[in-house]
């Protein structure tokens, strides 16, 4: 039979892991949404460049005056996508800050650290000692 305090600890841990999983899933969905928006933004930039190049080649590019309607429409769509990207990036940052921090041991828990063991000095008959003696002969 499992004691109640252990059952409670296991249940609490499982609940925290489920919450963490949900938050990670939400973050992943936001990351996917961000990538889709970035692709859409790149597509619109490409479209704008293509139109601009076509106007240049056909000689229909207006040097001064109002912005042509099709350019204005594409730029407006670019602004909209860029705003959505910024909003999604904010949501991702908010989701990261709301993530459950990793569990830490209780304050009164004792932490054990392994004692460092110093290497033993070389024995007088070891190769290292003999090499050292050969390099520095004693008078």
Model confidence pLDDT, tens digit, residues 62-82: 667 777 777 788 888 888 999
Cα distances (angstroms) measured from residue 93 to each of 28, 37, 87, 88, 132: 12, 16, 10, 9, 59
**Tokens at 61, concatenated:** 């590019």
The tens digit of pLDDT for each residue in 41-70 reads 999 899 888 888 887 777 776 667 777 777
Could you tell me if 13 and 103 are in contact, meaning their C-beta atoms sit under 8 angstroms apart? yes
The tens digit of pLDDT for each residue in 90-107 reads 998 888 888 756 555 555
Query: Considering the entire predicted model, what is its pTM?
Result: 0.51
Averaged pLDDT score across all residues of the chain: 75
Ramachandran region, residue 65 (left: φ > 0; alpha: ψ -120 to 50; beta: rest): left
Could you tell me if 74 and 44 are in contact, meaning their C-beta atoms sit under 8 angstroms apart? yes
CA distance 88 to 37: 9
Max Cα distance, the chain (Å): 97
């Amino acid at each position: 039979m499992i004691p109640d305090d252990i059952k409670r600890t296991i249940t609490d841990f499982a609940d925290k892991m489920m919450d963490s999983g949900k938050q990670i899933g939400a973050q992943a969905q936001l990351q996917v949404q961000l990538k889709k928006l970035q692709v859409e933004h790149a597509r619109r930039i490409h479209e704008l460049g293509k139109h601009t190049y076509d106007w240049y080649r056909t000689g229909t590019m207006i040097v001064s005056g109002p912005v042509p309607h099709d350019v204005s429409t594409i730029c407006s769509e670019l602004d909209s996508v860029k705003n959505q990207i910024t909003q999604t990036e904010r949501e991702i940052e908010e989701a990261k800050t709301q993530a459950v921090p990793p569990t830490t041991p209780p304050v009164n828990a004792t932490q054990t650290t392994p004692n460092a063991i110093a290497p033993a000095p070389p024995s007088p008959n070891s190769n290292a000692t003999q090499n050292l003696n050969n390099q520095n002969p004693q008078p």
